[in-house]
């Protein structure tokens, strides 16, 4: 068994690029080791945590087979939407804790690293947070009070139970400095200090993260590095940077991702690879990003794989995931966790973003939660 496994690794993974990943060999190896295979969390136990985001629908259903898969494969979990403001606190004074409580109980039962997502964000926030009864922006004093109350309610409810918080999400614009969100426009840049300081006061043991997409972008990277330095100078508690991993088969480059990992780690930040998925579909008008308000018109040309993923694209996907995890392993001492944005292809947000109604294949498990060749490529790096 050992010699066969070594031969597989030598022939399919040790090299780089598509040629090093033979799809037939991956499938053969997967079948060969099926009886003894463990979850990804076990394979990467000495490197970093392996996580997934769980949807509200899956959490509500709590299907034993699905939850068993989560427990076997992952040791970190994120609530996909139900800790966001519009789901949790849609009306002033009205809170819905059902799904978050179930999520927390499941994570605790499996002794998982639980990521709270998210305390402060410009998207998926109900209008009442920023507006008065006449539809006008409230003043800075009132908005600060609403932010503090929200963090006290949410972080306070799960104090001592949450491993880490995405305190602030997507507050930086591409090449334009601060995003001109209602938080920034009403309070100013010190809203960042308020968010982190409040989260730390409420739960001093939670690991506090700034999370954003396109963190490979040099302008965004440099701005975030400066932000971290400024926050630390003022004594603001920030310990981690989340690099959203919404990538494609051919962008961004491994070097761009590596440069950002190195830059954030150099500032003393724990690096989190968050929301990882690999888009295999044609780019919509060269759209790159994760701003959820973006949407493009559907066309068949942008949805070519409705009947299944061609073997050539499947192999490219496996190669891409292999290259990404080689990079993550290179910086295992700086990376806290790698979290996928979903578990199976059917539930992925990439089916509807940035074009609604497409059939995408961005994750390690297929629409029936069966392991794909890209799963086996990631697993093979540790065997």
Asked if residue 9 is part of any domain, the answer here is: no
Asked if residue 8 is part of any domain, the answer here is: no
pLDDT (0 to 100) of residue 237? 98
Asked if residue 216 is part of any domain, the answer here is: yes
pLDDT (0 to 100) of residue 105? 98
Asked if residue 239 is part of any domain, the answer here is: yes
Q: Is the peptide bond before 252 cis (omega within 30 degrees of 0)?
A: yes
Catalytic residue among 73, 80, 170, 314: 170
CATH code (residue 200): 3.20.20.80
Contacts of 42 (CB under 8 A, 6+ apart): none
Residue numbers of the domain that contains 274 = 40-380
Could you write out the DSSP letters of every residue in 1-46?
Answer: -HHHHHHHHHHHTSS-SGGG--HHHHHHHHHHTTTT---HHHHTTT
Q: How far is CA 373 from the centre of its chain?
A: 21
pLDDT band at 19 (very low <50, low <70, confident <90, very high): very low
State yes or no: is 73 an active-site residue. no
Asked if residue 28 is part of any domain, the answer here is: no
> What confidence tens digit (pLDDT) does each residue in 20-59 have?
455 554 444 444 344 346 899 999 999 999 999 999 999 9
Asked if residue 35 is part of any domain, the answer here is: no
- Are the CB atoms for 106 and 143 separated by under 8 Å? no
> What confidence tens digit (pLDDT) does each residue in 186-242 have?
999 999 999 999 999 999 999 999 999 999 999 999 999 999 999 999 999 999 999
State yes or no: is 275 an active-site residue. yes
Closest CA to 196 of 168, 229, 234, 221: 168
Distance CA 149, CA 346 (A): 36
Q: How many domains does the chain have?
A: 1
Distance CA 334, CA 261 (A): 8
Catalytic residue among 37, 80, 275, 336: 275
Asked if residue 75 is part of any domain, the answer here is: yes
Closest CA to 85 of 75, 70, 77, 95: 95
pLDDT band at 10 (very low <50, low <70, confident <90, very high): very low
Give pTM, 2 decimals: 0.88
Asked if residue 159 is part of any domain, the answer here is: yes
pLDDT (0 to 100) of residue 147? 98
Q: What angle do CA 284, 358, 57 make, to 5 degrees?
A: 125
């Amino acid at each position: 068994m050992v010699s066969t496994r070594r031969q597989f690794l030598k022939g399919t993974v040790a090299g780089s690029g598509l040629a090093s990943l033979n799809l037939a060999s991956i499938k053969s190896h997967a079948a060969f080791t099926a009886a003894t295979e463990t979850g990804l969390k076990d394979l990467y136990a000495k490197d970093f945590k392996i996580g997934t985001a769980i949807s509200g629908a899956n959490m509500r259903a709590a299907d034993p087979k699905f939850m068993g898969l989560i427990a076997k494969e992952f040791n970190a979990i994120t609530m996909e939407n139900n800790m966001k403001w519009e789901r949790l606190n849609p009306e002033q004074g009205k809170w819905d804790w059902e799904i978050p409580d179930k999520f927390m109980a499941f994570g605790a039962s499996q002794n998982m690293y639980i990521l709270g997502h998210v305390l402060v964000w410009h998207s998926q926030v109900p209008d009442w947070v920023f507006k008065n009864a006449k539809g006008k922006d409230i003043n800075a004093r009132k908005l600060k009070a609403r932010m503090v109350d929200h963090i006290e309610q949410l972080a306070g409810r799960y104090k001592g139970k949450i491993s880490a918080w995405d305190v602030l999400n997507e507050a930086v614009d591409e090449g334009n400095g601060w995003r001109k969100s209602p938080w920034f426009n009403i309070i100013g840049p010190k809203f960042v200090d308020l968010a982190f300081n409040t989260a730390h006061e409420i739960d001093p043991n939670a690991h506090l993260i700034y999370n954003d997409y396109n963190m490979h972008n040099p302008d965004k990277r440099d701005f975030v590095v400066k932000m971290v330095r400024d926050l630390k100078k003022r004594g603001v508690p920030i310990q981690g940077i989340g690099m959203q991993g919404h990538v494609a088969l051919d962008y961004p480059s491994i070097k761009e991702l590596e440069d950002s990992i190195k830059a954030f780690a150099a500032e003393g930040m724990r690096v989190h690879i968050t929301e990882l998925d690999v888009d295999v579909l044609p780019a919509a008008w060269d759209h790159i990003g994760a701003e959820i308000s973006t949407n493009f018109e559907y066309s068949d040309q942008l949805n070519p794989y409705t009947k299944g993923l061609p073997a050539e694209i499947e192999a490219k996907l496996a190669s891409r995931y292999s290259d990404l995890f080689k990079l993550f392993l290179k910086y295992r001492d700086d990376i806290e966790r790698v979290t996928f944005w979903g578990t199976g292809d059917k539930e992925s947000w990439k089916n509807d973003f940035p074009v609604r109604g497409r059939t995408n294949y961005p994750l390690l498990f297929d629409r029936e939660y069966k392991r794909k060749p890209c799963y086996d490529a990631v697993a093979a790096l540790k065997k």
